[in-house]
Amino acid sequence: MSEHRTTVAGVAVDTRHWIGGQRVASPRTFTDASPIDGAPIGEISRGTAVEARAAVAAAKAAFPGWAATPRAERARLLHAVADGVEKRTEELANVETVDNGALLRSHRRGVMPRVAHNFRFFADWLLTLEHEDFATRGHTNHVTWDPAGPCVLITPWNAPLMLATWKVAPALAAGNTVVLKPAEWSPLTASLLADIAAEAGLPAGVLNVVQGYGSEVGDALTSHPDVRRISFTGSVPTAQHIAASAAANLTPLSLELGGKSPLLVFADADLDLAVDLAVEQYDNAGQVCLAATRLLVEEAVAEEFTRRFVAKASRLRQGDPREESTDIGPTIHPRQVAKIDGFVRRALAAGARAVIGGHPGEGQYYAPTLLTDVRQDSEIVQEEVFGPVLTLQTFTSEDDAVHLANDTRFGLAATLATGDPERAERVTARLVAGTVWVNCFFVRDLKAPFGGSRHSGIGREGGTWSFDFYCDLKNTVTAPKGWKDHG
pLDDT tens for 317-327 read 999 999 999 99
- Around 218, how many Cα atoms within 13 Å sit in the side-chain half-sphere? 22
pLDDT at 2: 61
Distance of CA 169 to the CA centre of its chain: 13
Predicted confidence (pLDDT) at residue 216 exceeds the cutoff of 80 = yes
- Around 81, how many Cα atoms within 13 Å sit in the side-chain half-sphere? 31
pLDDT at 13: 98
Q: Are residues 192 and 266 in the same domain?
A: no
**447 belongs to a structural domain:** no
Q: Are residues 132 and 275 in the same domain?
A: no
- What's the total number of domains in the chain? 2
**140 belongs to a structural domain:** yes
Predicted confidence (pLDDT) at residue 295 exceeds the cutoff of 80 = yes
Q: Are residues 109 and 41 in the same domain?
A: yes
**232 belongs to a structural domain:** yes
Q: Are residues 253 and 374 in the same domain?
A: no
Residue pLDDT, tens place only, 155-188 = 999 999 999 999 999 999 999 999 999 999 999 9
Residue pLDDT, tens place only, 78-109 = 999 999 999 999 999 999 999 999 999 999 99
Confidence (pTM): 0.96
**430 belongs to a structural domain:** yes
Q: Are residues 128 and 251 in the same domain?
A: yes
Q: Are residues 238 and 375 in the same domain?
A: no
**Once rounded to an integer, what is the mean pLDDT over residues 42-63?**
98
Contact present, 331 and 296 (Cβ < 8 Å): no
Mean model confidence pLDDT for the chain: 96
Residue 468 sits in which domain range? 5-257+452-475
Taking CA atoms, 108 is separated from 88, 194, 284, 470, in Å, by 10, 20, 14, 30
Residue pLDDT, tens place only, 420-476 = 999 999 999 999 999 999 999 999 999 999 999 999 999 999 999 999 999 999 999
CATH of the domain at 294: 3.40.309.10
Catalytic center residues = 256, 289
Q: Are residues 107 and 219 in the same domain?
A: yes
Give dist(CA 240, CA 263) in Å, integer: 28
**24 belongs to a structural domain:** yes
